[in-house]
Structure 1
């Protein structure tokens, strides 16, 4: 977009004022940086240095825009700078989004890992419970075997006493033996039922353990697949970023070359204008002073004027 000469001069004057103010601001920041002291001086110096660097960058762009307004009455370099900044912002936003997505994936994997750890702890508790049940079953079986031995001893003693006692004692002994046999059968039945219950419980726990192991293996495979997908996306994004950087460098090189060519053309045009002005000045000096080829032409004109004057006198 081209501007008129007046508009470009006005903008150039405003930009020159801005450039002077930026130079003053940079000098003020440099003085502040040199005077900064104290425990918080490092952070403040970093902030002031960044501001000074930004001021220099803006001052350079203002100077380029000032030159372009004076020479071409346009502001295409400002549009190029805006486009470059937008590209940088887009690249920075892409990097931030990729980093944010990676952080979210890491948090998700950490949560999954914590859940997996909790489930493994539950499985370990179940293993301990199964061991406790087995231990209780062994204790009950040992108690039953001890009771059986005690009953057998009592029976033997009672049989020995029954041989010495009368028939009534034998009947009483038989009744006691029957009661003892009933108690023994009842205890054996309870023992068998408890053993079956514990065996079924143990089988259920084993099945549940196998299910949890299968689920955990499946979850681990899924998370590995997700992690591989995230890595693939990250590599693709990095490749895109590298390609964009390469294109940006190529565009920057083209712009720099174009600027150099324009600067050379401007210098050539300035030299040509200066040479033309110098030739015109020298020709004017030669003409005014009657030097060189211009001297003969002036003498011829003077001779013609004298002859014309004599002819007029003769006619009179």
Structure 2
């Protein structure tokens, strides 16, 4: 947007006044910051320092605008600052979205890690149960062995006592021994079957644990690959953004040069029109007043008219 010379002068005067007021405001803020030295006024001091920085930034932008109005008579610096701020906001929004995505992915990974920990804890509990059952089986086997010893001792005593008794008592004892042996065989079988069952459960639990560990490793590798791909995309997007900025600046420069050339052509055409108008006005004045070369032509016309009148009188 180009302005006339008068408008640019007015705006420069206003901007000079604004810059002076901003300088005064910055000086007052520095004085207030130096006065507040208490620990309780730390927040106020921070606020004042922020205001002082803002005043300095505005002063810089006002000076740039002042130079543009003096040299180019346009608001190109203000438009450029606005575009830069918009681009910064867009970049910040993109970074915030990427941070949100990364945080969400971290949360999902954390949840998966917690689930894996819970599963490992369950496996540990199951292993502990298997150990306890094994310990109980060992105790039962010891009890069975003790019972065997006790039964053998009892049988020996009974045999020693019942040697003098009849054959019927011997048969009864033999029957009792057979029953005891059968009971012992049954208990031994139960012990072996329970031990096999616990061993099978222990092996299955170990296999499940290995499978879960492999699954967790694969999931972690996939998540790392996804993170790497996201980083690569981010770098590519940043490169594209920088390339677009460079192209935009080049196009803006071309547009500004074209505008300057058009403005120069328009000024030249206006000057040519004004010159032609001035020449036409001056010729009209010369012709109406009979000045310069136009005066001789009028005299010649008058002389011719007088001679024609004399000729008519002679006739």
RMSD: 3.6
Number of the residue aligned with 2:212: 212
Distance 1:196 1:66, change over 3 A: closer
Q: CA deviation at 1:120?
A: 2.8
**1:151 equivalent in alignment to 2:131:** no
Equivalent residues of 2:36, 2:45 under 8 A apart: yes
1:64–1:77 contact (8 Å) kept in structure 2: yes
User: How many angstroms apart in 1 are the aligned matches of 2:151 and 2:93?
Assistant: 86
Q: Does the C-alpha gap of structure 1 residues 14 and 85 become closer, same or farther in structure 2, counting only changes over 3 Å?
A: same
Q: How does 1:151-170 map to 2 (within 5 A)?
A: 151-170=151-170
Deviation at 1:52, TM superposition (A): 1.4
Q: Distance in 1 between matches of 2:212 and 2:185?
A: 40
> 1:69 maps to what in 2?
69
Secondary structure of 2:3's aligned partner:
coil
Contact 2:137 2:195 in 1 (8 A): yes
Quickly say closer, same or farther: Cα 1:197–1:68, change in 2 above 3 A.
closer
Provide TM-score, normalisation by structure 2.
Answer: 0.65
Moved beyond 6 Å, runs of 4+: none
Structure 2 vs 1, CA of residues 88 and 144 (structure 1 numbering), >3 Å: closer, same or farther? same
User: Does the alignment pair 1:18 with 2:18?
Assistant: yes
Return the offset for 1:228: 3.4
Q: 1:127 to 1:237 in 2, by over 3 A?
A: farther
Helix, strand or coil at the partner of 1:157? helix
Output aligned runs, 1:116-131, within 5 Å.
116-131=116-131
Cα offset, 1:235, TM superposition: 5.1
Q: Deviation digits for residues 263-302 of structure 1, max 9, x if unmatched?
A: xxxxxxxxxxxxxxxxxxxxxxxxxxxxxxxxxxxxxxxx
User: Are the counterparts in 2 of residues 65 and 75 from structure 1 also a CA contact under 8 Å?
Assistant: yes
- Structure 1 residues 211 and 74: CA distance shift in structure 2, 3 A: closer
Match of 1:299 in 2: none
SS at the partner of 2:163?
A: helix
How far 1:111 moved relative to its partner?
3.5
Q: State whether structure 2 residue 148 is matched by structure 1 residue 141.
A: no
1-side partners of 2:88 and 2:106: how far apart?
27
User: TM-score when scaled to structure 1?
Assistant: 0.65
Are positions 1:87 and 2:87 aligned together? yes
1:139-288 matched pairs, under 5 angstroms: 139-233=139-233, 236=236, 243=242
Change (3 A) 1:107 1:235: farther
The answer to whether the 8 A contact 2:22-2:59 is kept is yes
Asked if the contact 2:127/2:202 (under 8 Å) is kept, the reply is no
Q: Which ranges in structure 1 are unaligned for 5 or more consecutive residues?
A: 263-316
